[in-house]
Structure 1
Amino acid sequence: MAGIAGRGTRLGWVINLSVLALVILWLIPTVGLLVSSFRDRDQISETGWWKAPFAVEQTYRARVDAGGAVAEGTGFVITGNVFEAAGVGSGQVTAFGVTGRDPAAFAPGDMAELRGGGMLTVAGDGSFRATSPEEFGRRGPSIYFQAATPPKFTLDNYRRVLGADAMDRAFINTLTVTIPATIIPILIAAFAAYALAWMEFPGRGLLIAAIVGLLVVPLQLALVPLLSLHYKVGIGQGFLGIWMAHTGFGLPLAVYLLRNYMAGLPRDIIESAKVDGATDFQVFTKIVLPLSFPALASFAIFQFLWVWNDLLVAKVFLPSTDEAKVMTVKIADDLLGSRGGDWGILAAAAFTSIAVPLLVFFTLQRYLVRGLLAGSVK
């Protein structure tokens, strides 16, 4: 009875749990990126995203205003709160010090000797009292302290990304690059795939093998020679050049995917159309192309995502001016800087840039599996 069609296998629950585990593992980096996009920059540098709901222990430096000193007995006293002086809101002081080399030398409530003379004490709630037998001078003492501050979630990262200069121009440039770089290889590959699938000519097998071989060639090897060729033919760095580059890099996969799908179409339909007098062009445009829409949509998703998220090819084939920068280059050059260590900005930029690809994916995702599985079974 276990082999009857429609019956579940005994290991069905194992398969379901395995799929669930894979989905969770796949979502963990995305969830971490989403959480980091709303976190404060300083807290990101101290703890991982999984500790975002908990207090973060950080070291701060507070400069005390000497103008608040008042005479008391034979000396002068300054009182206040280290959180207000450091501009960090509120928290719980866990240790303090009078030098940057040892910011946690004293526990809250202890008395510490100031370097210029006098004493300092800091309470757990951040209130401090600094005393000196002489006036503090123009600059008050510096207080170093460690404090457990509550978690901070902010929209500043998104405001910085969306409010960056010329970001709207970069968004338009990204669409200008991505849409033609997706359509052009589909148009070329569709004709080539039909010819390889349904037309007989010498060397067809070798041509198919060459296309499969091109799938494993790293595009990094072709960047410099291709850019040199662009300058020789007169297109140089510009939108036309990057359209041609993405077309060349995307054609092997497109031809391979579409050829497998078209070769699996019913032969009777093609032969009946040719018996009725249809030309190859008519068969291609009126029969093969409409039936191949799932494969076309599958490649369109891959190509759109690849071109939209591309940084390397855009850096090579586009000028470095603001008028030609796409979103990935704009984020990498102007927002992250040379070191790229601002994780909050990077996370917010990532979620801002994936809005359009997600729209494309969910619009065409029903065709994705059908197109990828084309030609796998008969």
Structure 2
Amino acid sequence: MANGRNRRRRAPMSLRNVQVGGARPYRIDIGADLLRDGALLAQSLRGRHALVVSDNNVAPLYLQRTVDALRAARPDIRIASHAMPAGEQEKTLARFGNAIDALAALGATRDGCVYALGGGVVGDLAGFAAACWMRGIDCVQLPTTLLAMVDSSVGGKTAVDLPQGKNLVGAFHPPVAVIADTAALATLPARELRAGFAEVIKYGAIVDAPFLDWLAAHSDALLDGDADALSEAIARSCAHKAAIVERDPFEHGERALLNFGHTFGHAIETAQEYGTLNHGEAVAIGMVLAARLSTALGMATDTDTMILRALLQRFDLPTQLPAGLDPDTLLAHMRLDKKAQASGLRFVLWDGLGRARVVADVPEDAVLGVLRSG
């Protein structure tokens, strides 16, 4: 993973924490060089078995330091590592089976722990393996991408994809800790960093309009990798997600708001077979489409859509459907979306900036109209 741009580096910032409450509370630690902090990494390890799951991009950069830090803190533990091929296209049942085989080879007991070291793909797959091994063992999320730090590592959603759609096989399995080492973002390609800002912007779009103003004002610093600005954006995003997850851990209501833009985005990813746009880019387009659908249904004005589009473009994110995607095919994928019901499609739409809500039985002709107009 090559560094995508010359980013400013400041002295390490102080550690920030966000607490996730509920039936299984845990803490999110945010700060620089946390993957070297063995005491913090081992804090949640109850037993003597640890499997660190990573991918072929992240492992050469951070796997050994993570293993060394854990061993230094807990010399008595047995540690194994498993690196999978990188990419959304690898988030499959077959790769899940490989992770389960690694747990079996380790002889992991019920007090063992899986450490998910990587982006959202690793976090989802490793978390799902932890959810299934012996009906559930501990998982510590070690996100190394901005997108994973602010979204997929928090909340306990774990899954793998099928050819028919994203995240169709999975489980709710909250981590026992999330440790976000912001120093890892310095080695993130610029495109992947930008993709993470789609999920950051999402929090402003659904619940916190003033956050959108803050992001616009700090966009240059954020894109340049300013440590303090990134830490603030991550902490504010995680605080929003933690509050929503605490109130609705199993997505029976409010938590669905976190899927703003995702129904469109997942359909785009599936139609492109996870090979063109990455997740954040697809969600960026999906949020604009969701905003436009809201306008078509008389819920919001074009002005708010234009503000959202302009902010996404400020972070160099796409805001229009790629050429060549068939609207009817995209709609077919949406019918398999987890938010869909027997009575029809459900979307997370908005009444304007910071005011999202779930809307049931959205007319398919309105969806097709938005898709056909790009």
Q: Pick 1 or 2: higher relative contact order, CA cutoff 8 A, min separation 6.
A: 1
TM-score, normalization: structure 2? 0.22
The structure having more radius of gyration, on CA atoms, is: 1
Task: Determine which structure has the larger strand proportion and give its number.
Answer: 2
